[in-house]
Amino acid sequence: MKKQFIVLSSMLILATSTIVSCGGGDKKADKKEEVKTDVYTCPMKCNNGQTYDKPGKCPECGMELEKVTKS
């Protein structure tokens, strides 16, 4: 009886540790984290799609830069 209890306990511990180690990881570490950055560009494409990191006016035509989200 005592031997059966030890064997069953050992099997339960082994099964639990296997399940936890296979599926209990950090989900963020499994996925590639995407960082989105806002960039700005001229709606007239004066500078061949040049992007800027701050809002403002296009240095070529003076139009307001539009926000574009890049990943």
Domain count, the chain: 1
pTM above 0.85, yes or no: no
Instruction: Kindly state whether residue 61 falls inside one of the protein's structural domains.
Output: yes
Instruction: Kindly state whether residue 56 falls inside one of the protein's structural domains.
Output: yes
Q: What whole-number distance in Å separates Cα of residue 16 and Cα of residue 12?
A: 6
Instruction: Kindly state whether residue 24 falls inside one of the protein's structural domains.
Output: no
Check whether 28 has a pLDDT greater than 80: no
Instruction: Kindly state whether residue 71 falls inside one of the protein's structural domains.
Output: yes
Q: How far is CA 34 from CA 28, 55, 71, in A?
A: 11, 22, 7
Instruction: Kindly state whether residue 44 falls inside one of the protein's structural domains.
Output: yes
Mean pLDDT, rounded, for 49-59 = 91
Instruction: Kindly state whether residue 65 falls inside one of the protein's structural domains.
Output: yes
Instruction: Kindly state whether residue 60 falls inside one of the protein's structural domains.
Output: yes
CB 25 within 8 A of CB 44: no
At 64, the pLDDT band (50, 70, 90 cuts) reads very high
Domain span including residue 49: 35-71
Nearest-5° angle of CA 60, CA 63, CA 69?
100
